[in-house]
């Protein structure tokens, strides 16, 4: 029995561009979401998505279909995000705080099909608080928390993606949750 | 139960990782300890908020997929040729004309139907209207190329069969020893013409 991703990777490996496009369709939103929450910046998130798929494409021959495709692609995406966060300069993180909170910065003021009135309405004060809190999490907790809550990944799956023992992941989820509780608790 | 243990159990509970027996123990502690009860409520709220917020998906630009696909390294031959066509649309139109003119001088060309049949052993082939037939029992030694027509193979072809802008029917009795190629798209058809012309010129 072969999964859909396994079939598509094999076809893509033979040069079938449509099969690869299919994989992109299946995972682009997931990786974009992951990168957007990790980096809190649209442009950077799109760059990461592009880079992730380029790496997937170049390493198709190394994909082992006994492994879940999602685990593999999340690993590539997460590592790219972590690399970017490490390379950010201290001055940049000051900018980043101003950066890309929907409705605040210049970029999102540009009329776009993506920002519907509904999504703007939905971004309440509570939401901004939560996103700020996530953004202030140290990177090692942030990646774990985002993977945990983004796609309902289990502790075991997160440990596969990050290549760390489950016990470490568990500790980080607990500490991350405590961190968020302390930031948000008084405001809730 | 100590409060410290209770807190660790709260996290396990939220991770969906607490056995039922211990869930009951935790519940009992929460009923008796107001401090832990308040903390549990906060943790549970944080957890719920995270879940609900994280499921609001941001939307990437619409052209992202296109950009991704364009950034992929492409098979070299095809890309070079297609970009060349895109860059020189007028030239391409002229070249098509020239190629077609050149080809018509070297192929058997039926003016009425524009059916083109090319091969080394054509007297074994039966042509009916726009249909080219390799009858059963007949053996064609060499390649067979048909443009703008239907091809039906019942017999044997000891070579390649190429069908351009047409259909190919292979009967169960058919035997083709070489490659079978169907070319429909204008681009690959053009590509075929170019490479084929060069090889023909080279062999002369
Ligand atoms: Zn207690």
Percent of chain A scoring above 90 in pLDDT: 52
- Tell me the C-alpha distance between A116 and A105, whole Å: 16
Confidence at residue A157, expressed as pLDDT on a 0 to 100 scale: 93
From ligand 1's centre to the CA of A183, what distance in Å?
21
Residues 6+ apart with CB under 8 A from B182: B162, B163, B168
| Average of per-residue pLDDT across B181-195 | 60
Does the residue B129 lie in any domain?
A: yes
Pairwise CB contact (< 8 Å): B60 & A32: yes
Contact B72 A32 (CB under 8 A): no
Interface test with A, best of B49, B56, B188 (most A CBs within 10 A): B49
pLDDT at residue A112 in the model:
42
Question: How far is CA A126 from each of CA A142, A187, B81, rounded to the nearest angstrom?
Answer: 19, 9, 55
The interface predicted TM-score of the complex, written ipTM, equals 0.75
Domain total for chain B?
2
* Number of cross-chain residue pairs from A and B with Cβ atoms under 8 Å apart: 100
A50 touches chain B (CB under 8 A): yes
pLDDT tens-digit readout, A77-121:
999 999 999 888 654 444 444 434 433 333 333 334 444 555 555
CB contact under 8 A, B59 and A54: no
Tell me if B168 is assigned to some domain: yes
Could you say which of B54, B70, B94 is where a domain stops? B54
- Say if B193 falls within a structural domain: no
Give pLDDT tens digits for A131-183: 889 999 999 999 999 999 887 788 999 999 999 999 999 999 999 999 999 98
Can you give the pLDDT at residue A91?
A: 45
Give residue B36 CA to ligand 1 midpoint distance, Å.
4
| Long-range contacts at B65-68 (CB < 8 A, ≥ 24 apart) | B65/A21, B65/A24, B65/A25, B65/A28, B67/A46, B67/A50, B68/A24, B68/A28, B68/A49, B68/A50, B68/A53, B68/A54
Mean per-residue pLDDT of chain B: 77
B65 belongs to a structural domain: no
Contacts of B11 in chain A (CB under 8 A): 173-174, 177
Range of the domain at B144: 116-187
The full set of domains in chain A, from first to last, is: 4-88 (1.10.1740.10), 117-185 (1.10.10.10)
Q: Which residue has the higher pLDDT, A50 or B189?
A: A50
């Amino acid at each position: 029995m072969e999964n859909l991703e396994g079939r598509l990777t094999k076809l893509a490996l033979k040069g079938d561009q449509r099969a690869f496009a299919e994989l992109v369709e299946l995972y682009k939103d997931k990786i974009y979401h992951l990168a957007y929450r990790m980096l809190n910046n649209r442009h950077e998130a799109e760059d990461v998505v592009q880079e992730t798929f380029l790496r997937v494409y170049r390493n198709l021959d190394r994909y082992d279909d006994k492994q879940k495709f999602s685990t593999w692609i999340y690993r590539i995406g997460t590592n790219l995000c972590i690399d970017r966060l490490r390379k950010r300069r201290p001055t940049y993180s000051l900018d980043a705080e101003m950066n890309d909170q929907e409705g605040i910065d210049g970029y999102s003021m540009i009329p776009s099909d993506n920002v519907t009135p509904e999504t703007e309405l939905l971004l309440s004060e509570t939401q901004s608080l939560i996103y700020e809190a996530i953004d202030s999490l140290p990177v090692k907790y942030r990646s774990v928390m985002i993977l945990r809550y983004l796609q309902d990944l289990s502790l075991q799956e997160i440990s596969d993606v990050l290549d760390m023992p489950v016990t470490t992941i568990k500790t980080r989820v607990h500490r991350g949750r405590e961190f968020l509780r302390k930031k948000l608790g008084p405001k809730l | 139960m100590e409060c410290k243990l209770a807190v660790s159990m709260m996290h396990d509970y939220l991770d969906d990782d607490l056995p039922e027996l211990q869930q009951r123990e935790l519940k009992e502690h929460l009923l008796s300890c107001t401090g832990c009860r308040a903390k549990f409520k906060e943790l549970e709220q944080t957890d719920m908020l995270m879940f609900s917020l994280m499921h609001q998906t941001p939307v990437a630009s619409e052209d992202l997929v296109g950009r991704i696909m364009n950034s992929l390294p492409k098979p070299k031959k095809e890309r070079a040729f297609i970009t060349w066509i895109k860059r020189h649309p007028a030239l391409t139109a002229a070249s098509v004309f020239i190629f077609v003119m050149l080809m018509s001088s070297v192929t058997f060309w039926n003016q009425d139907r524009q059916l083109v049949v090319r091969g080394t052993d054509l007297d074994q082939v039966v042509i009916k209207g726009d249909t080219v037939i390799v009858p059963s029992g007949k053996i064609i030694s060499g390649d067979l190329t048909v443009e703008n027509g239907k091809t039906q193979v019942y017999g044997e072809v000891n070579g390649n069969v190429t069908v351009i802008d047409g259909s190919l029917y292979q009967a169960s009795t058919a035997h083709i020893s070489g490659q079978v190629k169907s070319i429909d798209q204008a681009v690959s058809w053009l590509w075929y013409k170019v490479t084929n012309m060069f090889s023909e010129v080279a062999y002369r």
